[in-house]
Structure 1
């Protein structure tokens, strides 16, 4: 499969919505199996997470930590070519202030996310 045929926007938006916004463990695991290669790696600012089960665990913990209305919202359209894609996002409670902004950068192999870098923007000082 060439990367010219990949819908980068759909892939990265699905990752936000179906993995990092999904509170149901079974639905999240099914989405990860569909969207990620068998042995994915996720690079967070403070950790390297390996494997589908660990990515699911991290997503579940984030949602528990930040409360029942916390959501990741895509900003604009994901862009990509030659196996690399980028999607900016913001996150926070629904109808509340933005808590964090950042972007996901993904390396795509065979139409699935192989490696995902979670980049957080610096917090603005008040």
Structure 2
């Protein structure tokens, strides 16, 4: 897959996690993630579309927080590393981290989420 497409998928991954429109979020999830996507966090492993949707709902419940890219993505053969922030729209971030996405099938197959503060 072309580098630009791989990077676009990684950037879309950040955006979809902030999307509060459930219909749009599910549609985008199916467009950018493979059906057997695996999300690795330090305290859990989430699999598939249903698991991902559940995790997205958890993250946006009761707040107006959004994910924003905090660095230019770096791509190497389907693997993309991108730093991010998560916090209120227009406010200071409450969380920072790095996503590592792996694209081997034309969609995101795996995401590792690393929190840094």
Q: Which residue of 2 aligns with 1:98?
A: 93
Q: Which runs of 5+ in 1 are unaligned?
A: none
1:30 aligned onto 2:27: yes
Q: Which residue of 1 aligns with 2:38?
A: 41
Mapped to 1, the partners of 2:91 and 2:75 lie a distance apart of 30
Relative to the length of structure 2, the TM-score reads 0.92
RMSD of aligned Cα (Å): 1.3
Mapped to 1, the partners of 2:92 and 2:19 lie a distance apart of 20
The 5 Å alignment of 1:1-126 reads 3=1, 5-7=2-4, 8-17=6-15, 19-65=16-62, 67=63, 69-121=64-116, 123=117
Contact 1:37-1:109 at 8 Å conserved across structures: no
Mapped to 2, the partners of 1:36 and 1:109 lie a distance apart of 11
User: Number of residues paired by the alignment?
Assistant: 116
Asked which structure has the greater CA Rg, the reply is 1
Q: Give the deviation of 1:34 after TM superposition.
A: 0.6
Contact 1:43-1:49 at 8 Å conserved across structures: yes
Q: Which runs of 5+ in 2 are unaligned?
A: none
Mapped to 1, the partners of 2:66 and 2:54 lie a distance apart of 16
